[in-house]
Amino acid sequence: MMHHLWIAKNLWNELLFHAKQTYANYGRFPTRNSLQIMVKKSGLYSQTQQEIAHRIEMAIWRYCRLKRECKKAGFPRFKSFDRMKSVVYSQKDFWLDKKLEVIPFGAIAIVKHRNVSGVIKTLSLKRESSGRWFAIFSVEEPKGLKATNDGPSIGIDLGLRTFATLSDGTRIANPRHIRRYEEELSFRQRKVWRKKRRSRNRKKAIIRLARTYERLKNSRKDFLHKITRKMAATYSMIALENLACQEMAEQRFGKHINDAGWDTFADMLCYKAENAGCKVVFVNPKETTKKCSNCGKIQDMPLSARSYQCSGCGMLKDRDLNAAENILARATAGHAGSNACGEEREGMPLNETRNREQDSRCATTSLSHEKREPAERI
Ligand SMILES: [Zn+2]
């Protein structure tokens, strides 16, 4: 398996080099066809090779799109062996029983987390940096009836002190995963530094460090999966701010914004909502904190002010709750008026949504297609 990863890594680098050369010579990137011709005879299965060509194509395509939108984007990079994480096998190269049989490797003992429903289409073998391997199956399920959901509508304000404040007053505390692992991480990191370079003990220490990071990652994911699933099942419409998380993280509180995982939260919510008959609407984050949800007056809100006291109508409310109500109001106001706001995301096939995460987000942005701006609050 390592050998296959190694070939895949070399192939990636070759193709990327080819793409760069083509661009330097002809001023455009190679077509998918020319990439697919190049991958022949690398020693991997044909589908596996082509999947890598496809990855390169997608990476370049994504880069070009971000550039077009004048966003920060880095060109796909050459990979070291550690950075090549997975290879994909097609249907005919493996089968799943009590063990997983992949043709070149034979039977592999696995821990089966759950039964697979639907028709298995592809398998990807993924290596985590901690050295553990995962088998990931993609399946095709027959399209069932669309789920319906007649729960209430809700606006959500994401923050750091409380992870999410819902417009009905519910608060979800920020679990601050990184705090739980901080000590262990620095301990493991120190262990790595103290070991002699290139020694076997250093390797072991690095794996232990990677395991800790993996646990941190898993606990983050677990938390987000649980709350997004619950929300998608409870509400019929969810309004969120269209935050530019990356830009915000670069400015201030980067560690904690990344730890909270607002972006992942939004992505998970979108795809879960699709299956649960729920609708996710993204609204412009401008002045959601500064505006009075009662009379609409706008006043300055320093970060330290935890409650909103309106100088116009005298309303006193929690800062985040006020914002959540504004977000909900923005999302629903659009619906009552024109259909310029908040299209449903249900109709879109899943893979398409995945491929165009950012695009489709723009499409559902309710108030405008303006550039996403870092919101003024944390
Ligand atoms: Zn007011």
Domain that holds residue 93: 2-140
- pLDDT score for 175: 87
Share of the chain above pLDDT 70, in %: 87
Looking at the fold, whether 192 and 334 belong to one and the same domain comes out as yes
Looking at the fold, whether 175 and 255 belong to one and the same domain comes out as yes
CA of 156 to the centre of ligand 1 (A): 20
Ranking 94-108, 286-300, 325-339 by mean pLDDT, the lowest is 325-339
- pLDDT score for 161: 84
CB 311 within 8 A of CB 141: no
DSSP strand pairing (279-283 vs 237-241): parallel
Longest dimension (CA), the chain: 74
Q: Give 335's pLDDT tier (boundaries 50, 70, 90).
A: low
Closest CA to 271 of 364, 153, 342, 350: 350
CA of 329 to the centre of ligand 1 (A): 14
- Using DSSP's 3-state secondary structure scheme, residue 65 falls into helix
CA of 160 to the centre of ligand 1 (A): 25
Asked if residue 375 belongs to a domain, the reply is: no
pLDDT tens for each residue of 340-374: 334 333 333 333 333 334 433 333 333 333 344 44
DSSP strand pairing (153-158 vs 237-241): parallel
Q: Which residues contact 337 (CB under 8 A, 6 or more apart)?
A: none
Q: Give 246's pLDDT tier (boundaries 50, 70, 90).
A: low
CA of 299 to the centre of ligand 1 (A): 9
Looking at the fold, whether 136 and 157 belong to one and the same domain comes out as no
Based on the structure, what is the number of domains in the chain? Answer: 2
Rounded CA separation 129/346 (Å)? 35
Asked if residue 206 belongs to a domain, the reply is: yes
Which H helix or E strand runs over 238? strand 237-241
- pLDDT score for 348: 36
Query: What rounded mean pLDDT belongs to the chain?
Result: 82
CB atoms within 10 A of CB 346: 15
CA of 283 to the centre of ligand 1 (A): 21
CA of 206 to the centre of ligand 1 (A): 55
CA of 316 to the centre of ligand 1 (A): 9
- Using DSSP's 3-state secondary structure scheme, residue 87 falls into strand
Top mean pLDDT of 40-54, 197-211, 252-266, 361-375 is at 197-211
Q: What is the pTM of this model?
A: 0.76
Ranking 66-75, 158-167, 175-184, 241-250 by mean pLDDT, the lowest is 241-250
CA of 3 to the centre of ligand 1 (A): 65
CA of 290 to the centre of ligand 1 (A): 10
CA of 313 to the centre of ligand 1 (A): 4
- pLDDT score for 196: 94
CA of 308 to the centre of ligand 1 (A): 9
Q: Which residues contact 208 (CB under 8 A, 6 or more apart)?
A: 188, 191
- pLDDT score for 365: 34
- Domain boundary (140, 166, 196) is at 140
Looking at the fold, whether 97 and 168 belong to one and the same domain comes out as no
- Domain boundary (115, 140, 165) is at 140
CA of 167 to the centre of ligand 1 (A): 17
CA of 291 to the centre of ligand 1 (A): 8
Looking at the fold, whether 117 and 176 belong to one and the same domain comes out as no
Looking at the fold, whether 86 and 136 belong to one and the same domain comes out as yes
Using only C-alpha atoms, the chain has a radius of gyration, in whole angstroms, of: 24
Asked if residue 371 belongs to a domain, the reply is: no
Asked if residue 203 belongs to a domain, the reply is: yes
Asked if residue 378 belongs to a domain, the reply is: no
pLDDT tens for each residue of 90-135: 888 888 888 899 988 889 999 988 888 888 999 999 999 888 999 9
Rounded CA separation 62/81 (Å)? 23
| Lookup result for tokens 């002010």 | 305
pLDDT tens for each residue of 42-94: 778 888 888 899 999 999 999 999 888 877 788 999 999 988 999 999 888 88
Looking at the fold, whether 218 and 351 belong to one and the same domain comes out as yes
User: Phi/psi class of residue 261: alpha, beta or left (left: φ > 0; alpha: ψ in -120 to 50)?
Assistant: left
Rounded CA separation 250/158 (Å)? 17
Take residue 159 and report the two structure tokens written for it. Answer: 């923050």
CA of 298 to the centre of ligand 1 (A): 8
CB 375 within 8 A of CB 308: no
Q: Give 245's pLDDT tier (boundaries 50, 70, 90).
A: low
Q: Give 149's pLDDT tier (boundaries 50, 70, 90).
A: confident
Top mean pLDDT of 142-146, 299-303, 367-371 is at 299-303
Looking at the fold, whether 105 and 251 belong to one and the same domain comes out as no
Asked if residue 147 belongs to a domain, the reply is: no
Looking at the fold, whether 348 and 217 belong to one and the same domain comes out as yes
